[in-house]
Amino acid sequence: MTEEGADRADGRFGPGSHLLVTGGAGFIGSCFVRDILGRRDGTQITVIDKLTYAGNRANLAPVEADAEQAGRLRFVVGDIADPAVVGPLVADAEAVVNFAAESHVDRSIHDPEAFLVTGVIGVHVLLEACRREAARAAGGERPAAPRFLQVSTDEVYGSVETGHSREGDRLEPRSPYSAAKAAGEILARSYHVTHGLDVVVTRGSNTYGPYHHPEKLIPLFITNAIDDRPLPLYGDGLQRRDWLHVADHAGAVEHVLRFGRAGEVYNVPGEAELPNRQVVERLLDLLGKPWSLVRRVEDRPGHDRRYALDGTKLRALGWRNRMSFETGLAATVDWYQANEAWWRAARSGDWDTYYERQYGARLAGSAQAARE
Ligand code: NAD
Ligand code: DAU
């Protein structure tokens, strides 16, 4: 093994293992599931997903359409905060990869409760199940304790005006979403310290790519622009995000699962930091649509100005991203153009109610955004 800092045998959680993936019908979780099962290496995956508005079984359609892959997937509709559902699933698994969360900052401003229930109580329920399995392993009832990987976010560092956040930096979350994410990962790490659980944490950057729910910046602006609808840019649009392709995020999570050191946190940067305005310009160029669609709207309350991660620790573990932002963004635009049925379905149900609450008043009082 060449990875510096790795403390696990290369084979653990590799081909043939059995993983429990929570939130596996969401954006990043489904990519993780598709990519691993698509390798046809014998790995079995159980997904537990509550199928909230953001969860979509169609995200796993490529797996379910392939008999060999479908045979290695078990899909359970359930809540990670429900111990009766979670217990037996963790008992069957060698590792738990926790993607499940409410993930949209804007929704956390209006309705924070579900963020806390899933992000804190849900994590607690999963950890208690892992603790029971660790005790069974200590008693010789299973070969090893399960590893628990908590998928966290760069937002736990809060807004970073200059420089790049390192894993030991202070956590200063500033939205209900990021506060719940910080609480969840701190709880997970406390189980490592107090109970000796095998816990690892990843903190990923802003992720983009196919199957991304259209409430988020990139898919919202692509799908609105396809329909020639206004693009609501918050404030001056100079907030900066670091963009990470979903396949690289999922790949890095798997790498940390296999090679990360117990008790450690790993940043997962995209290494593509841009102001929102530039992202929008690139999208419009790719779509052949005019800047006149862009509206300057009232800013998000508490809007973090910038996130930026230092990726030294993950690089030392042997991980390299594979997708450039230029290639990834162009492929993402192509995907939305080719998969209109998928995103139109995601923009149905309570979408219009959500959209009106989030953007109705903002757009009514908006002006075309100046191009700088
Ligand atoms: P998503 O909203 O697309 O998917 C979340 C999934 O979790 C959905 O399928 C949903 O049904 C499921 N879920 C929600 N509550 C649940 C519960 N109580 N029990 C079981 N399932 C539940 O989110 P995403 O963008 O794929 O993010 C996945 C994880 O990665 C989250 O933990 C998020 O905080 C983290 N993250 C996301 C990004 C990003 O840019 N998208 C970046 C860094 C970290
Ligand atoms: O940084 C990681 C985080 O990235 C994840 O933890 C979150 O789950 C994920 O949702 C994402 O959070 P952001 O708030 O950064 O993503 P969002 O797509 O909502 O917004 C990206 C930027 O675009 C942000 O500066 C707000 C701005 N924005 C967003 C929307 C939806 C707009 O200007 N207009 C919009 O309509």
Characterise 23 by phi-psi region: left (phi > 0), alpha (psi -120 to 50), beta (else): left
Chain centroid to CA 144: 27
Give the Cα separation of 149 and 371 in Å (integer). Answer: 43
Mean pLDDT of 124-134: 98
pLDDT band at 2 (very low <50, low <70, confident <90, very high): very low
Are the C-beta atoms of residues 47 and 29 closer than 8 Å to each other? yes
Q: What's the N-to-C CA distance of the chain in angstroms?
A: 50
Dump strand ranges (E) for the chain. Answer: 18-22, 44-49, 73-77, 95-98, 147-153, 198-204, 206-208, 231-234, 240-245, 265-268, 273-275, 294-297, 367-368
Q: Is 100 in the pocket of ligand 2 (CB under 6 A)?
A: no
Distance from Cα 182 to the centre of ligand 1, integer Å: 14
What's the pLDDT at 10? 57
Q: Is 122 in the pocket of ligand 1 (CB under 6 A)?
A: yes
Token pair 């290369």 is found at: 10
Contacts of 249 (CB under 8 A, 6+ apart): 28, 31, 204, 205, 207, 268
How high is the pLDDT of residue 370?
A: 86
103 CA: nearest ligand 2 atom:
8
**216 alpha carbon – ligand 2 mean position (Å):** 6
Percent of the chain clearing pLDDT 70 (strictly above) = 97
What residue ranges do the domains of the chain occupy? 3-208+243-271+306-324
pLDDT at 224: 98
**Rounded distance, CA 177 to CA 183, Å?**
10
Residues with catalytic annotation? 154-155, 177
Mean pLDDT score of the chain = 96
Tell how far the Cα of 122 is from the centroid of ligand 2, in angstroms: 23
Residue 97 neighbours by CB under 8 Å, 6+ apart? 19, 20, 21, 22, 29, 32, 149, 151, 253, 257
Total-model pTM: 0.97
Provide CB contacts within 8 A for 193, sequence distance 6+.
Answer: 263
DSSP for residue 25: T
Amino acid at 230: P
**Which ligand has an atom closest to residue 309 CA?**
2
pLDDT at 124 > cutoff 80: yes
Q: Nearest CA to 365 among 274, 299, 312? A: 299
Q: What is the pLDDT of residue 332?
A: 99
For ligand 1, say whether the CB of 28 is within 6 Å of any of its atoms: yes
Ligand 2: atom nearest CA of 155 is 1
Nearest to 41 by CA among 22, 17, 74: 17
Whether residue 359 has its Cβ less than 6 Å from ligand 2: no
SS3 105: helix
Average pLDDT for residues 335-347, to the nearest whole number? 98
Q: Kindly state the percentage of the chain with pLDDT values over 90.
A: 94
Which of 32-36, 105-109, 362-366 is predicted with the least confidence, judged by mean pLDDT? Answer: 362-366
What is the 103 CA–ligand 1 centroid distance (Å)?
5
pLDDT at 9 over 50: no
Q: Which atom, in ligand 2's list, is nearest to the CA of 215?
A: 31
pLDDT at 64 over 80: yes
Q: Are 256 and 7 in contact (CB under 8 A)?
A: no
Cβ(153) – ligand 1 distance below 6 Å: yes
Q: Give backbone dihedrals phi and psi of 223, rounded to 5 degrees, phi first.
A: -70, -35
Contact 158, 123 (CB under 8 A): no
Per-residue pLDDT, averaged over 228-233, amounts to 98
In the three-class reduction of DSSP (H, G, I as helix; E, B as strand; rest coil), residue 176 is classed as helix
Q: Which phi and psi angles does 75 have, rounded to 5°? A: -115, 120
> Which atom in ligand 1 lies closest to the alpha carbon of residue 28?
26
Residue 276, ligand 2, Cβ within 6 A: yes
pLDDT at 365: 83
Q: What CATH superfamily is the domain 3-208+243-271+306-324?
A: NAD(P)-binding Rossmann-like Domain (3.40.50.720)
